[in-house]
Each structure stands twice: as structure tokens, then as C-alpha cells.
Amino acid sequence: NAGVTQTPKFQVLKTGQSMTLQCAQDMNHNSMYWYRQDPGMGLRLIYYSASEGTTDKGEVPNGYNVSRLNKREFSLRLESAAPSQTSVYFCASSGPGQHYGYTFGSGTRLTVV
Amino acid sequence: LAKTTQPISMDSYEGQEVNITCSHNNIATNDYITWYQQFPSQGPRFIIQGYKTKVTNEVASLFIPADRKSSTLSLPRVSLSDTAVYYCLVGDPTGGGNKLTFGTGTQLKVEL
């Protein structure tokens, strides 16, 4: 099925470890996004990529880096994980299509201990 | 980015119509209004999008008055499975990198 695929679904890290969250979409969308969602809160934008080859900071970029590998893939990297980064991470994409809306992945639940 | 205001929570019963209103006083000319639904442990899901007047799809209707400073999401005959958080967002989706700001949304609880 067409959509946004995120891996892994769950991850536990120790403080100071690094990891990369992967995201891929097969809808030929130009724009991709990374959000985080903390309990009882809305989604906050970490980074986004308006098109292949470009990335920009969102509301809460500190502690993260991103790479737009190609049109399909947009990865999020935590260089030195901190407990404050414990959250659910959602990747999304958008572009012309049936509607001008976001399509979200199913999320990665990350716990930093 | 236009800021939106919507109720924190709403309660309803199965079979009733639910209307969730969102205010967006600073909406810009090129902005669309989009509603998303989020179930626990899932990513938000697109419900409906509109620019003006009324839009209807198989899931919901969206009513937008002429001044576009507010909008109302209407869910006909809700069921228990409609219990979710509903987000109202405003922005210009036609350009690249349309970064949307999600508020805390409206928690809809549907009971028997």
C-alpha cells in the first residue's frame, strides 16, 4: 500500500548513544517532515525538507540532524541521545495529489534511559 | 502561520452528530483549512480539507463561512470508533515545505 514507512517502530537507547530513524515514502511527494509528540501534547516540528536536496529547521531542532537522501527517503539522527528526547517520532510527507495534506507514518516510539 | 483555537475536549453519544469548531482569525488568502484525526499510538490521518463554503466526503463535512475566520468539522452519526483527537490546521499546502503547526487538538470521546 502506498504511504509512509518508518523504521524502527520501537527503540530503547542509553543516554549518549546515537541512532538514525528511517523514513521512506512512495507517493512521489516533494516535501517531508519529522515531528515529535510527547504525552498529551500536539505534534512539534523538528525538521522538514521542502524538496530533495534542501532541509530546514522546525520548532525543536536542537539535538537532531536530518538527511534527505533522495526524493523518497528522509532520515532523522540523534547524535547523543538524552532522556528529554524520549518521545514518539512521526515522519510525514506532502505533495500534489488527491489532497494537499500530510500523510503520516505509524511512528517510532523512542525511550532514552 | 495562522494560529488556530479549538475546544480541548468534547463528549458525545453514539448516533449523534458532532460539530467541532475551530477559529483562525489570521487566516491568509492562500491558506487552506485541513482537519486530521489521531488515534492513540498512530500518526494523524487526513480527514478533510477546504478553502471556502462547504466540502463533504465519505467521512465528514467541513463548513467554512465567507470570512473564513472559523470552520466547523461535522461528523454525522458518530460511533465509538470516532473517539480520537481532532486537529484543525491552517496553511498554504500548495507550495513546497508547507510546515504545519499542530495545536493540542480536540479530544472527542464517544460513549454508548
> In tens digits, what is the pLDDT along chain B, a chain of 112 residues?
568 999 999 999 999 999 999 999 989 888 889 999 999 889 999 999 999 999 999 999 999 999 999 999 999 999 999 999 999 998 877 665 667 778 889 999 999 9
Q: Encode pLDDT of A17-49 as tens digits.
A: 999 999 999 999 989 999 999 987 788 999 999
- Kindly report the backbone phi and psi dihedral angles of residue A83, in degrees, each rounded to the nearest multiple of 5, phi listed first: -55, -30
Is the Cβ–Cβ distance between A25 and A72 less than 8 Å? yes
Q: Encode pLDDT of B83-96 as tens digits.
A: 999 999 988 776 65
A102–B100: do the CB atoms touch at under 8 Å? Answer: yes
b vs e for B12-40, b when ≥16 Cβ sit within 10 Å of the residue's Cβ?
Answer: beeeeebebebebeebeeebbbbbbbbee
- How far, CA to CA in Å, does B109 sit from each of B18, B31, B38, B53, B87? 10, 29, 12, 27, 14
Taking contacts as CB-CB distances below 8 angstroms, the residues of chain B near A104 are 43-45
Q: Which of B46, B49, B59, B87 to mutate to test the interface with A (most CBs of A within 10 A)?
A: B46
